[in-house]
Structure 1
């Protein structure tokens, strides 16, 4: 096991503990990340309950690590894709052994084969077919929001829209979205007492999810359809059928990946437009900006703050020695504010154009549903631009207590209606 002094030679180099979920409770500490990018872009972060990890905060360095999956592993047996070691701590923090490894925690070539099982459900043709229905669902949700009155925009729109889309992708009824919402919050909420009230409650949540998922697995095995749940349940990977355990692990990945990024990009972007009304007026006046503005929305929000890798051999990054077995944590939320890549990086600017952010990850693990997420953002803000003159946030939103998901639990806001002919 390593310690800080073994890596840095001087404990005075300690700046902050990026693992501390409380650090993100009020806001993302962007000024701390900016300091790290300037002073220690490859920063040794000690852990009270572990060996410590390297925090990589610069854009180019994150791309460099992500280009080398053989040297920087995501594999479960090496600890997986989170700061904590997945091979020691389960998704439920309960030692649950019935859940297999999701493909995000696999290295090539296995990662590529498992990822390929759901790609047919997210082709350009599939997305084009879904667009009309997504637009209708978004319009229906907005119809239910009383304009000019305070509403919780997360519950009214940002959460249900991607979850209703996810329900369609999985071949589920629309009434499932609230259960999916409850489960996914629990899956990623290991540091939030609101999402993980007690081990007993978490065991009940996991029990309900697993019973439902097993029933879905059995149903899709018995009667395959063309949805993603069927694709996974009936997948044959390298000659081996996907068993229930792997189905459960990858279903958790699909549920979290399919809604957390989109939901929180929507919520954060409403907040950003409220704070930068000139940007909202620019989008309303030039709707064609939406095509690339969605990239700025994801960059600025950075809904997934980090992913982790493990060095498989001694190496170095930016001249800093990294040892075999060291954890290397890629801070996307920092890279997306890297001044060397994004001028005036803290500014929300929908005219940045064809930017290449890392909000969906990068390299082999780039989010398989990124185009679907962008489409939902484009549809959502296109419809809002037709109906809403401005957003008036009524109170600071409550945030997830998490070092992983940059999430808003609520967003109390008034949607001030656009005047006719505006």
Structure 2
């Protein structure tokens, strides 16, 4: 079917009337409906990226293959699943995503136009609650100032000091899983090393890490809700995390140590300390980001190796290929599916007119399967060179923890290759129900020692 011209008002999927503009999350919207005519390609008209059931069995790569081919800059109309009752732009090609991610003046991580909310999710979040307070929802100069405070704690030279400790932890973790034989790779292995590492870096007692892990899982998964919705369970998890963070900051203020939260507790920018809200949001962000994305990259990477046992044998024999394998796992997993920006001014992208205030979503996972950059993109290739993946984003918001994630993956897989002879699935992988993170809930495996 060729491209057809549709006025937005004629789109067949009528949005929920309770979510029409003006009645969005927290009543934040102040955005008039679009009246311009938009080109929608027939081959993509059935795609709804706000229907989380579409992501419940992993990332829907086939949908994005169609988008890259037919509508690389696509206006996603609102559906019954879409928060705020308004559409948004979907970018699926590598070059467009890199361009937008590198232009923070035109595409803000906070807000734009007449919009009274914003942030990096499809749904609007309130200004001064998350927007402008969370590090990943800040623009410069505040973003650069806060980031500069944290960077020394995750620099390669600093992380080198904890690598031996991580190797000892990894050996203990892998040996415990081997003793079980049958285990949940996600819970017992993939999550455990990143969780221990982030607890150590933040100054969280190790005995508290699983409680924080549980709260983060509840907040990030959508097993009992849809986009833009909260349940009593998710609200309780967020409140418990914030309360824990407040207690931790109080302790670090009174008795600082050599950890990241002590640094944040005593840091100043232009002579002023971080606000209590900035501290609370920073703690929640680092707990989630420091454990969630890496564990999923590890789990999905291991799944690819289970499906290609000859690669497992090859890596065991030649560890010089491990760094390249880790990069391919990161591309393959692409654990953060998308981030949103908001247009600050009227502009064009390709042949599309984007207005100030429009939501623009950058789908990193799709960029990492773009055949114009990655030949044979749906093939897991540990020898892929070059591999300029966007698993950690691009531009000023490039992932602060990228060095830590790479080191954790390298250390854990090095240990697994030393100790594990074979690995096989014993039941299907269970994925999280989310379009924001390609996550694994459970991955039952049987490990045999080498």
Conservation of the 8 A alpha-carbon contact between 1:134 and 1:165: yes
Which of 269, 272, 279 is matched with 2:311 structurally? 279
Conservation of the 8 A alpha-carbon contact between 1:73 and 1:312: yes
The 1:353/1:130 distance shift into structure 2, 3 A limit, reads farther
Does 1:21 pair with 2:56? no
- Cα deviations across residues 183-235 of structure 1 (Å, max 9, x unaligned)? 2112322x221999973333332332222111111111112222110111112
Where does 1:2-401 land on structure 2 (aligned, <5 Å)?
6-9=36-39, 12=42, 14-48=45-79, 49=83, 50-75=85-110, 79-87=118-126, 101-146=133-178, 149-189=181-221, 191-193=222-224, 199-401=231-433
SS in 1 for 2:126: coil
Conservation of the 8 A alpha-carbon contact between 1:59 and 1:341: yes
Aligned twin of 1:93: none
Gaps in structure 2 of 5+ consecutive residues: 1-30
The CA deviation at 1:4 is 7.8
Conservation of the 8 A alpha-carbon contact between 1:393 and 1:414: yes
TM-score where L is the length of structure 1: 0.92
Deviates more, 1:10-19 or 1:100-109: 10-19
Conservation of the 8 A alpha-carbon contact between 1:100 and 1:247: no
The 1:299/1:161 distance shift into structure 2, 3 A limit, reads same
Distance in 1 (alpha carbons) for counterparts of 2:74 and 2:334: 20
- Cα deviations across residues 375-399 of structure 1 (Å, max 9, x unaligned)? 1111111111112222211111111
Aligned twin of 2:10: none
The CA deviation at 1:177 is 1.6
Distance in 2 (alpha carbons) for counterparts of 1:221 and 1:7: 56
Distance in 2 (alpha carbons) for counterparts of 1:257 and 1:236: 23
The 1:178/1:200 distance shift into structure 2, 3 A limit, reads same
SS in 2 for 1:166: helix
Conservation of the 8 A alpha-carbon contact between 1:162 and 1:263: yes
Distance in 1 (alpha carbons) for counterparts of 2:436 and 2:157: 32
Distance in 2 (alpha carbons) for counterparts of 1:75 and 1:100: 6
Aligned twin of 2:434: 402
The CA deviation at 1:124 is 1.8
TM-score where L is the length of structure 2: 0.86
In the alignment of these two chains, the number of paired residues is 410
After superposition, the CA RMSD in angstroms is 2.3
The 1:63/1:236 distance shift into structure 2, 3 A limit, reads same
The 1:322/1:277 distance shift into structure 2, 3 A limit, reads same
Deviates more, 1:5-14 or 1:22-31: 5-14
The CA deviation at 1:119 is 1.1
Gaps in structure 1 of 5+ consecutive residues: 91-96
